[in-house]
Amino acid sequence: MRTGQAGVKDKNGVFHASDKARIKWFRVGAEAGNHISRHWLINVLSDVESDSMDMEEAIEWLEIGVADNDLSSVTKLSEIYAAGIGVEKNPDKFQQLIDLANEIEEKEAIGFKFD
């Protein structure tokens, strides 16, 4: 197995990016406004089993998603406040985010209704 800063290549020649490299690449995409990059950046930063976990930065990116009415960000942040992961448990903030999630779901559902 070959290793480097960007990741490792296994015995089959498959490259596996390191968390540090993935965070760098996803951050560049997220900063450019790419929602998929932001989603994956949040996943890496909020992975409790990762050495690269950084809940403070993950929450900052989630707040950006909430401001964009991104349902995934709203629900993930509500779970964080409900469980108190990296923040103090906050039932009021949890409920506020659940209400926002319901609003977003309702607006999205209207777009799928057929007359």
- Predicted TM-score (pTM) of this structure: 0.78
Q: Position 28: which residue type?
A: V
pLDDT in tens, 34-88: 999 999 999 989 887 777 789 999 999 999 999 999 999 999 999 999 999 889 9
Return the number of other C-beta atoms located less than 10 Å from residue 64's C-beta: 16
Q: How far apart are CA 46 and CA 28, in angstroms?
A: 17
Give the CATH fold of the 2-110 domain.
1.25.40
pLDDT in tens, 79-91: 999 999 889 999 9
